[in-house]
A and B are shown apart, each in its own frame.
Chain A
């Protein structure tokens, strides 16, 4: 069973639009939540991360929100660009990131 669930599996948005990806988790000991971005043929790379003591973290066009009560997190991408087309993974860890549990991923396509 997956401890971290991610939705949707795939998503297409128009250039300039806002993308919203969501994840939910079960383990209440999770306290660190990174998002990784993966382009075809490459390994994933850290995009943004948040600790459970925060409810929002922003980095340019990317913002991640965390809701501890509902055990949910989301990634918002504003002004989406074709270069953002990639697969996005949320992940969770209970010990500051040393062992991550990944969600199933969302394949994002941004159309010009």
Chain B
């Protein structure tokens, strides 16, 4: 079964600090995604990747960086965290096929004080 894990599950950070959210998938999927979820906005795409070494900007990339060092791992980096980045972050993986599906992790709740 598809497995996407995220760490940490909860994080409290200070304004101006650096935050790294990690994601690991054991599905051997080529594509990985980072979303943030806020009430009323649904899920918004921050960055995505089509494979190791590649990262692409999503719809709301400002203030975020991404890193895909391997097929399995995809990180989201907030170099200078701000309170507006307080949110729940979801990682997902997926691959091309007749019925494309993205498999989501359990989420990371980030609070920036």
Interfacial residues, chain A to chain B (CB-CB below 8 A): 4, 6, 9, 32, 34, 41-46, 49, 89, 93, 96-105
Residue in A34, A43, A44, A102 whose CB lies within 8 Å of B44 = A102
Question: Does B42 contact A104, Cβ atoms closer than 8 Å?
Answer: yes
User: Which interface residue of B31, B44, B90, B104 has the most chain A CB atoms within 10 A?
Assistant: B104
User: B101 an interface residue at 8 Å Cβ cutoff?
Assistant: yes
Question: Does B94 contact A98, Cβ atoms closer than 8 Å?
Answer: yes
Chain B contact-residue range equals 20 to 34
Residues of chain B contacted by A34 (CB below 8 angstroms): 100-101
Interfacial residues, chain B to chain A (CB-CB below 8 A): 4, 31, 35, 40-45, 48, 50, 58-59, 90, 92, 94, 96, 99-107
A sample of 11 inter-chain contacts (CB < 8 A) reads A6-B42, A43-B90, A43-B106, A46-B101, A49-B100, A93-B100, A96-B100, A97-B100, A99-B58, A102-B35, A102-B44
Residues of chain B contacted by A102 (CB below 8 angstroms): 35, 42-44
Question: Does B40 contact A104, Cβ atoms closer than 8 Å?
Answer: yes
A86 to chain B, nearest CB (A): 13
Q: What separation, in Å, do the CA atoms of A41 and B101 have in the docked complex?
A: 20
Question: Does A44 contact B104, Cβ atoms closer than 8 Å?
Answer: yes
